[in-house]
Amino acid sequence: MKTVITDRSGIDEAVKLIQEGEVVAFPTETVYGLGANALDEEAVQKIFRAKGRPNDNPLNALVASKKALYMLVESIPAYVDQLIDVFSPGPITYILPSANKVATSVSANLPTVGVRIPNHPIALAILEQSALPIAAPSANVSGRPSPTTAKHVVEDLDGKIAAIVDGGATNYGLESTVVDCTGEIPIILRSGMITANQIESVVGACQIAPHVTANSHKYKHYTPDVPLYIAHSEMEFNELIQKETSNNNRIGVIVPYKHYYAHKSIVKEYILGNQEEEMAHNLYDILRSLNKSEVDIVISTVFPSPIIMDRLSQAATTVK
Ligand code: TXA
Ligand code: MG
């Protein structure tokens, strides 16, 4: 299949393709999404095929408004209403009892549906013009880092999807916070820019699911092409350097700023930054750029952000 690559001038065409049951990648404020008509089972199946996504991993559905969100769900606890008013449109996905409007595979046969109102002009224009809920997981091949630019989407999906709308780099660079809203208290299933503290400050309570705290995620994510190790202290860093140098490996490092660590064996520095916003913006681009032709292994230092460490440790080969 020839993939049409366009910019915002191609929104009308993107909408038409989605209405015809095709799959189109477009930017949201978090990461690029791979969108298809959420009401059309065949169209949704094309997302699973293009990504190589396991069928038991549900997709979230994007909608343009609170009203459209309400149409997809059976019931809403009062606290979700408050959360929507404060955080949506924005980087937060609500898991709610499904009204069974979306195609079965969107929910992967679960009785729930994940819904998000994105805050990005292109995503919102596509949603409003198509007047459809759009199933839109991240637009990467399953297991790879999420795409934060159209170039990342091309790397993974060129030839496998109908179109890509290039809207430049996404605003945040990390995926939305996923919150289970089926119980009395919201429970965070995936960390993101909207934190447990922020949610708690609005609705009085918020839990974090044990798998998030313990970093034991069900699916492999963000896998780079070369082994990645995390050094939790300078001593650990020096031990890793020594070991990898004696193995004659070309070493790359992920660090907050240039020359954070000095060692003659370091052949490449990947600068992540030291502010959360900057780190989120750079992370997936760096993970995607780690390349066997340049380095044999990469050592990352720890960074002062739980959401960055969550993704980095999922990308790591072994947490050392
Ligand atoms: O920021 C985002 O959420 C991006 C943009 C494109 O919207 N999308 C995204 O999609 O990251 P994806 O498929 O990569 O991640 C969606 C997450 C997955 O971890 C999935 O398991 C979870 O949401 N999810 C979706 N529906 C669910 C449900 N009904 N129950 C539990 N988890 C669900
Ligand atoms: Mg994903």
Q: Which domains does the chain have, with CATH numbers?
A: 4-213 (3.90.870.10), 228-319 (3.40.50.11030)
Write the DSSP symbol of residue 10.
Answer: G
pTM confidence score: 0.96
Pairing, β 33-37 against β 134-135: antiparallel
Rounded to 5 degrees, φ, ψ at 312 are -60, -40
3-state secondary structure of 77: coil
Q: Which residues of the chain have pLDDT under 50?
A: 319-320
pLDDT the model gives residue 257: 97
Instruction: Tell me how far the alpha carbon of residue 224 lies from the centroid of ligand 2, in angstroms.
Output: 14
For residue 72, the model assigns a pLDDT of 98
Q: Which helix (H) or strand (E) holds 108?
A: none
Alpha-carbon span 115 to 98, nearest angstrom: 10
Res 215: pLDDT: 74
Report the nearest atom of ligand 1 relative to the CA of 57: 21
Tell me if 31 sits within 8 A of 170, measured CB to CB: yes
For residue 9, count CB atoms less than 10 angstroms from its CB and return exposed for 0-12, middle for 13-18, buried for 19 or more.
exposed
The pairing of beta strand 4-6 with beta strand 60-62: unpaired
Give 189-246 pLDDT, tens digit per residue: 999 999 999 999 999 999 999 988 877 777 777 889 999 999 999 999 999 999 999 9
Burial group, residue 198, by CB count within 10 angstroms (0-12, 13-18, 19+) = middle
What is the Cα 123 distance to its own chain's centre? Answer: 15
- The binding-site residues of ligand 1, defined as CB within 6 angstroms of any ligand atom, are 28, 30-31, 33, 57-60, 62, 91, 93, 95, 107, 110, 112-114, 116, 136-138, 175-176, 178, 189-190
CA of residue 140 to ligand 2 center, whole Å: 7
* pLDDT of amino acid 318: 57
Q: Which atom of ligand 1 is found nearest the CA of 33?
A: 6
Cis peptide before 77 (omega within 30 of 0): no
The DSSP call for residue 59 is P
Atom of ligand 1 nearest to the CA of 140: 14
Alpha-carbon distance 21 to 112, whole Å? 23
| 112-116/60-62 β-pairing | parallel
**How far away, in angstroms, is 57 Cα from ligand 2 center?**
10
Ligand 1 centroid to Cα of residue 19, in Å, is: 22
Which of 130, 167, 127 minimizes the C-alpha distance to 32?
A: 167
